[in-house]
Amino acid sequence: MPYQYFLVDRPLPYVAHVQINRPSKLNSFFEAMWLEFKTVFDTLSHDPEIRAIILSGAGDRAFTAGLDVQAASQAGILQQQEGKTEDVARKAVGIKRHVEEFQNCISSVEKCEKPVICVMHGFTLGLGMDISTCADIRICSADTKFAVKEVDIGLAADIGTLTRLPKAVGNFSWVKEVSLSARVFGAQEAYQVGYVSRVLETKEKALQAALEMAELLATKSPIAVQGTKELLNHARDHTVADSLRYTGVWNSAAIQTSDVERAMLSGLRKTKPRFEKL
Amino acid sequence: MPYQYFLVDRPLPYVAHVQINRPSKLNSFFEAMWLEFKTVFDTLSHDPEIRAIILSGAGDRAFTAGLDVQAASQAGILQQQEGKTEDVARKAVGIKRHVEEFQNCISSVEKCEKPVICVMHGFTLGLGMDISTCADIRICSADTKFAVKEVDIGLAADIGTLTRLPKAVGNFSWVKEVSLSARVFGAQEAYQVGYVSRVLETKEKALQAALEMAELLATKSPIAVQGTKELLNHARDHTVADSLRYTGVWNSAAIQTSDVERAMLSGLRKTKPRFEKL
Amino acid sequence: MPYQYFLVDRPLPYVAHVQINRPSKLNSFFEAMWLEFKTVFDTLSHDPEIRAIILSGAGDRAFTAGLDVQAASQAGILQQQEGKTEDVARKAVGIKRHVEEFQNCISSVEKCEKPVICVMHGFTLGLGMDISTCADIRICSADTKFAVKEVDIGLAADIGTLTRLPKAVGNFSWVKEVSLSARVFGAQEAYQVGYVSRVLETKEKALQAALEMAELLATKSPIAVQGTKELLNHARDHTVADSLRYTGVWNSAAIQTSDVERAMLSGLRKTKPRFEKL
Amino acid sequence: MPYQYFLVDRPLPYVAHVQINRPSKLNSFFEAMWLEFKTVFDTLSHDPEIRAIILSGAGDRAFTAGLDVQAASQAGILQQQEGKTEDVARKAVGIKRHVEEFQNCISSVEKCEKPVICVMHGFTLGLGMDISTCADIRICSADTKFAVKEVDIGLAADIGTLTRLPKAVGNFSWVKEVSLSARVFGAQEAYQVGYVSRVLETKEKALQAALEMAELLATKSPIAVQGTKELLNHARDHTVADSLRYTGVWNSAAIQTSDVERAMLSGLRKTKPRFEKL
Amino acid sequence: MPYQYFLVDRPLPYVAHVQINRPSKLNSFFEAMWLEFKTVFDTLSHDPEIRAIILSGAGDRAFTAGLDVQAASQAGILQQQEGKTEDVARKAVGIKRHVEEFQNCISSVEKCEKPVICVMHGFTLGLGMDISTCADIRICSADTKFAVKEVDIGLAADIGTLTRLPKAVGNFSWVKEVSLSARVFGAQEAYQVGYVSRVLETKEKALQAALEMAELLATKSPIAVQGTKELLNHARDHTVADSLRYTGVWNSAAIQTSDVERAMLSGLRKTKPRFEKL
Amino acid sequence: MPYQYFLVDRPLPYVAHVQINRPSKLNSFFEAMWLEFKTVFDTLSHDPEIRAIILSGAGDRAFTAGLDVQAASQAGILQQQEGKTEDVARKAVGIKRHVEEFQNCISSVEKCEKPVICVMHGFTLGLGMDISTCADIRICSADTKFAVKEVDIGLAADIGTLTRLPKAVGNFSWVKEVSLSARVFGAQEAYQVGYVSRVLETKEKALQAALEMAELLATKSPIAVQGTKELLNHARDHTVADSLRYTGVWNSAAIQTSDVERAMLSGLRKTKPRFEKL
């Protein structure tokens, strides 16, 4: 899996590790990167050798500092408004297409069928929030500096933070405060409000913790794990009645898996179950 | 109220106490039990002598260890797949019916018109989570060991945990972590993330706290209390605009109760109001 | 802006401070007040001189003790049931109209296009909860005494608390407990469950903190700030897919603002940006 | 299947015929009848011998004239308001329970997994509309006299007509006109607006047409037919995106049926396929 | 009720007739008119002397030719874009506010608690469609010329036609064809697709028919009629499950009216019932 | 634009004509075709030279006879169940992915920003219905033979017909009848129920009519036309309140187009407006 902007390796059986790999620029993104980002996650989503994914940023300084504003101001979204046309409505159509494609690329983390553990450290700004709100499990090192930074460049965050953060964290006052003010907050605050579920001393320790978690998930039935991700995401967006109905239909196929028998037998025999690829 | 698998008594006026009563098997459930469970809560829902309900597990060791997997593997849901037919789609129809009926039984706690205070202790696994997410108020003793256990038997939890937990707790990363990993978590962790709203030292103290809370709720206007439960559950599943509209219609009848006058007079006179049965 | 029941001044450029001004009656509300309340917020919503709003209660004792029950029992909602007609359905129509108008007035805080920082102190009961759940950012002083008080006057809260609280705070067990029991809770508890995002020692310090926050928000692009408020409120009530779509359309116009260029230039030059009125 | 108020027989293999059997009273309903009505359809829903259901009214004069108002004014819903209590809110709770149970009984036609062909003739008033809007296919004889009659007894129809009719017929002006005015309309009008999909000269011919249709449906794969009913009902109530997603999950099990192979082989060989029971 | 742009009289007891009264300009609208339009319908909505409303256009030539484009190009919406600011995003905010206020005024017909019968004749263009889609019952004279005209002035209709037409008429291909092409269609076509439920030879005959219909509605229980309007509009926008639940709560108050008894007695005695004002 | 399975040409300025081009096999589809189908429509969606699209089938005999069942039974969806795995749940995951990708390809017609006029003739079966329900305007020749054919091969239609047909046609009884029975229906019936909005004598005349319609749409402001398509599709799937809100935001950018001025000037001057590309 040789990618240009991402390191993707397999540190453990069934576990992929994706690193945003532009450390010299604080792992900031430009268009080609988020297009490749989608390819990475779409590929992993259907790769039968992978059951859990860790996402982190290469280097010491940042998970990602977000959009490479310099690149963006030369081409792409923030430049749309000076395109070939002067017509506001035509520019708007171009911007909308651009934003949707961008959203689509980042949402690939959420749509990925395998659980994604996001390990943050250092600067985790703007797009770094958009990306991490898409992940399933968020952990970070003690030095992480988060910010919903978009207000400071004159726009409302539009790649997913404002959409998903209110449903990721149960403190709407805090969500609004950090989103409206663009202020930086640290790892402890992120932990206390429930944005991350664990804080480790250093990036290395956070990665180690993520590896252990991924290893654990990779030993479970992939039918059970991937179904759980799907049903939790469905529940977030639907009424209880709708999700119960969807769950019933989902499990009407899933529960016919041989994994149930294998899991139960292993439970009784205290052995490690082995599950067929998915 | 003589039930086979549940102890139901009335420790205080207007207060029912329901105990899951199969302590020798860690209060684990099989089909006949969840059918009776529904009967218990449907009956209490309309019983004019009851205004608040406590739900707990008999014995020292468990609120409930969940599905009695042994029983289930001999008959019922996990066995569906080896029914009379070999046709996958026909099995799926049978499973769907079974899951829906099972969901329906457990949801009776949520649909019960009276507030339900769930007191947990010891093992509270799998179905124990499904049941407690349906309750209105959750408290536990310090020794409680929780787990969304289903992944470990090869399936995604389908009786309500995955549907309700993301809306009961405002920490989506944590919800996913415990649901995907099936790991055990304790009372303090449950309290910190907001799954339970109180932890007491022992089961006895937790029951005592629940009794005091139930006693308090039972002194309030049942029109007000039961309307509050209904409107909060509606709000969880609807937009603010929809819930405001529903609330207006709801109160257009409810507010015509004489309880308002009685409650206000009692407030002025510092007496205990008495409210007509409901 | 001379109002009868509210003090509205401009302590800082682009910052409005609204005070509920009936301290002799613990800032309790009657019908004329909530009608004027809506006028205040509707006016500020479109006032190009205002970019952030602080809402607090005059006097030392209360943000607001809620509905002036005495006034309400003489006229208005709680009296509806003794109107000219004896017909239950006709009374119900009158009550529904009344509740909807009342809801509408309080919702003006949420609909206001500018961020509203609610500073609470002392008694913050009943309607005080309805109002503060509409605000964007909630902070309070250490002496605040909160209660969802309506159950104690025999009714389910119908002006918004039951609708918005479950989405403001990610602890459904706690939300139900305080709503069903009407019990008082303090500043620390409000902070811990995430109802307020900050507690200050005194009302003065809380106001000072709010002023600093408002000043900060007022220096940001109003296009970005107001878009952020709108998109966060939209997200709370819609699926992720719907909100991403809405966001794309929203920003297709908003991103064409010159504020983006100004903000980025100021960022590079380390100067304070100035943004055109809105 | 000996029922008290319904004749249920099996005129053809896999086809059930349910007749409302109280012709002396124009097949009008009272409480015991709608409770039994639910039993009839719940039973047929899971009966593997049945693949299509015809619902009609016994006798020459009416499908059903609706609620037996006389019976209802002595006991039941219209009497609720003179129960044991004088408290408006308590009566309201009783009425709500009653209406929900009543709705639930009639909705059993919609929830029934098998397609229901409703054959109407003569008077089809009030509850007759509620029932027929739940059915899948509606046909009638030329003499049918329909009316959404409830307004004429002082109430808004609450057993489903107002809920389902706007989605059964694409002429909202007409839906409102007949619902607001309670006027009678005939078979031709019902056909022209799309309420019934076929009009036959006489009740006998209508029943004959229904039998042919039911026979046809009964020869198809029950997996395919019952899935189609479920997916169409889901589509009516959800967005296109949600229904496509639900459909994909539904068919992920259903398509694994051997019926696909059998149906295709029969298609090639021009033979009649035989499908396993469901 | 002396209005400037509308004639409002009471041709029959409990029946109001509202005429758009600017026949010299084909009843075309400018801003002051739609503001007054809202006042007219908000007033009638709560007027206890009114139980049914007819809406028509004064003069021989038009129900309304829609927006007075000349007026609009000098001030108001189409002029927004040349306001004081050049900033696209700030203009967009102004336009959005303007459109929302305009929508709000026209929606007053839908929100009006009483049924509105819209009688169309002659030109019924653009805004004429927006208005009539809000009405409950639509009838017209044979000479009516309809068009969803907005595309011809370079914009997508934004005052409600595109929102409500797909739910008023069950022929999505036709809805799109007339909305995309802006072509004129006549009374017969409108009748055939179900946009109007009746076509009369002349405006006079159409008004006469509307009067008879209004008279009929005015003799019915206003509790029943107004509840029916509310529940049908709710049903259009919600799932069947949600609307059944809302209906149960609605009728829990409404059914306690004395109108039920009066209506039933009158039915038995073949007399005209008289209902208390609402 | 040289495609393998589709002829795409430009018969008129701004008008594309897409022909399904496998007439020897009745234009039936296999996987490579629907993947290319998506490419065709995604490309046209953003092609500034195209403002209206006609979709038809090459040859005399069929728009399309649907899925090439023979091809499908050798590879692809109907074969999924005999993949490498025997595990039901793993097969289900494969099927779900396959169905979703297939749905996604066909939905490209609906997502295409330009209006699509679907011209049907001859056999229009199964997938032919899925495709045409996605189109904006449906017309056909008198010889068209339609069928929702999937039930006859043992499955519920899952590529969109069951999802979109209930919202395209306002006659739910008819929708269910044809979907459950798989019976063939002709052009007149399709017209009468509102599935097609026009029937022409022959395929040639139908194409001619489509060309005239497309030519007309192509002369209109593309901002207005494409906005109209988007808003109508949004309305189908959302509440009126949600769609009005979305519309206001949409037009806040769109209405700033110079097309409004051009369109109005052309209207006054009776000239043909020319609009900038989009």
Please state the ipTM of this predicted complex: 0.96
Q: pLDDT of chain C along its 278 residues, tens only?
A: 589 999 999 999 999 999 999 999 999 999 999 999 999 999 999 999 999 999 999 999 999 999 998 887 776 555 544 457 899 999 999 999 999 999 999 999 999 999 999 999 999 999 999 999 999 999 999 999 999 999 999 999 999 999 999 999 999 999 999 999 999 999 999 999 999 999 999 999 999 999 999 999 999 999 999 999 999 999 999 999 999 999 999 999 999 999 999 999 998 899 999 999 99
What pTM value is reported for the model? Answer: 0.97
pLDDT at A217 over 70: yes
Candidates B88, B91, B153, B245: best to mutate against F (most CBs of F within 10 A) is B88
> Of B238, B246, B253, which has the smallest distance from its Cβ to E252's Cβ?
B253
Where is C17: in which H helix or E strand?
A: strand C15-20
Domains C6-218 and C222-269 share a fold: no
Candidates A82, A88, A238, A245: best to mutate against E (most CBs of E within 10 A) is A88
Mean pLDDT, chain A, rounded, equals 95
| Smallest Cα distance from C258 to chain E, Å | 7
Rounded (to 5) percent helix, strand, coil in chain F: 55, 15, 30
Chain D residues touching F190 at Cβ < 8 A: none
Candidates B119, B120, B251: best to mutate against C (most CBs of C within 10 A) is B251
The residue whose two tokens read 């308002």 is B260
| Smallest Cα distance from C136 to chain F, Å | 21
Please, what is the Cα angle at F224 between F275 and F141, to 5 degrees?
A: 100
Size of interface D-F (CB pairs under 8 A): 175
Structure confidence by residue, pLDDT tens digits, D192-239:
999 999 999 999 999 999 999 999 999 999 999 999 999 999 999 999
Structure confidence by residue, pLDDT tens digits, E93-125:
999 999 999 999 999 999 999 999 999 999 999
Structure confidence by residue, pLDDT tens digits, B92-131:
999 999 999 999 999 999 999 999 999 999 999 999 999 9
Map out the domains of chain C as residue ranges: 6-218, 222-269
In this prediction, residue D85 carries a pLDDT of 85
Tokens of F201: 């004598």
User: For residues B126 and B65, is the Cβ–Cβ distance under 8 A?
Assistant: yes
Average pLDDT over residues F88-96: 97
CB proximity list for B50: less than 8 A, separation 6 or greater: B10, B14, B15, B16, B44, B114
Q: Which residues of E touch C (CB under 8 A)?
A: 46, 85, 87-90, 92-93, 97, 113, 223, 226, 253-259, 276-278
Structure confidence by residue, pLDDT tens digits, C124-140:
999 999 999 999 999 99
d(CA C76, CA C102): 10
Classify F72 as helix, strand or coil.
Answer: helix
pLDDT at E81 over 50: no
User: For residues E103 and E160, is the Cβ–Cβ distance under 8 A?
Assistant: yes
d(CA C221, CA B1): 65
In this prediction, residue B79 carries a pLDDT of 53
Q: Which residues of D touch C (CB under 8 A)?
A: 81, 88, 241
CB–CB contact C257 A175 (8 Å):
no
The residue whose two tokens read 């329906």 is B104
SS (H, E, C) chain D: CCCCCEEEEEEECCEEEEEECCHHHCCCECHHHHHHHHHHHHHHHHCCCCCEEEEEECCCCEEECCECHHHHHHCCHHHHHHCCCCCHHHHHHHHHHHHHHHHHHHCHHHHCCCCEEEEECEEEECHHHHHHHHCCEEEEECCCEEECHHHHHCCCCCCCHHHHHHHHECEHHHHHHHHHHCCCEEHHHHHHHCCCCEEECCHHHHHHHHHHHHHHHHHCCHHHHHHHHHHHHHHHHCCHHHHHHHHHHHHHHHCCCCHHHHHHHHHHHCCCCCCCCC
pLDDT at D131 over 70: yes
Structure confidence by residue, pLDDT tens digits, A221-273:
999 999 999 999 999 999 999 999 999 999 999 999 999 999 999 988 999 99
Nearest CA-CA partner of D228 in A247, A242, F95, F157: F157
> Of E115, E235, E262, which has the smallest distance from its Cβ to D162's Cβ?
E235
d(CA B225, CA C153): 11
User: For residues E106 and E159, is the Cβ–Cβ distance under 8 A?
Assistant: yes
The residue whose two tokens read 């047409």 is D209
In this prediction, residue A81 carries a pLDDT of 46
Instruction: Report, at the CATH architecture level, how domain F222-269 is classified.
Output: Orthogonal Bundle (1.10)
| Smallest Cα distance from A25 to chain D, Å | 39
**CA closest to F238 among chain C residues:** C242
Where is A57: in which H helix or E strand?
A: strand A52-57
SS (H, E, C) C148-211: CHHHHHCCCCCCCHHHHHHHHECEHHHHHHHHHHCCCEEHHHHHHHCCCCEEECCHHHHHHHHH
For D173, list phi and psi in degrees, rounded to 5.
-65, -45
> Of D238, D242, D250, which has the smallest distance from its Cβ to A249's Cβ?
D250
Structure confidence by residue, pLDDT tens digits, D27-68:
999 999 999 999 999 999 999 999 999 999 999 999 999 999
A183 dihedral zone (left: phi>0; alpha: psi -120 to 50; beta): beta
Largest CA distance in chain F: 71
CATH topology of domain F6-218: 2-enoyl-CoA Hydratase; Chain A, domain 1 (3.90.226)
**CA closest to E255 among chain B residues:** B253
Touching E (3+ Cβ pairs <8 A), the chains are A, B, C, D, F
Chain A residues touching B105 at Cβ < 8 A: none
The residue whose two tokens read 């100035």 is C274
> Of E81, E88, E241, which has the smallest distance from its Cβ to A241's Cβ?
E241
Touching B (3+ Cβ pairs <8 A), the chains are A, C, D, E, F
